[in-house]
Structure 1
């Protein structure tokens, strides 16, 4: 499964929202890959997610596979759409 979601929080992806993102990913049995432009990274890796340099207005492509793919995809999209716990 895959979908796209736009980052709406002011600071984009930095350590705090990536840490929360990883907590969500680890709750489920699924592989997550995140794309931005021509770059794709492991969505379950702090370092990989930080290398994306995703900022407000960027559109992420989230690809998931595995037992809980639908649940993790919904949870990650909700997390991003709600501003990742930060100011929007």
Structure 2
């Protein structure tokens, strides 16, 4: 099954589902989206306040803080053409 993002060989997706692989084992896109929203909302409240960093390392830090409970690759640079949404 081909997706709008290319073929089914994307290492970040469950095969033939167009759902991002995740630590929670969720394979339904809408359920993953809702769960990710809930978890990242809680994680956002834990981000440190104060002077903000700049550049890619700081953005990776934020991404890791938000997504560490959901995806193994939270905070890492993705090597894929996949775009969520």
TM over 0.5: no
Relative CO higher for 1 or 2, CA cutoff 8 Å, sep ≥ 6?
Answer: 1
Whichever structure has more strand as a proportion of its residues is 1
TM-score, length-normalised on structure 1?
Answer: 0.28
TM-score, length-normalised on structure 2?
Answer: 0.29
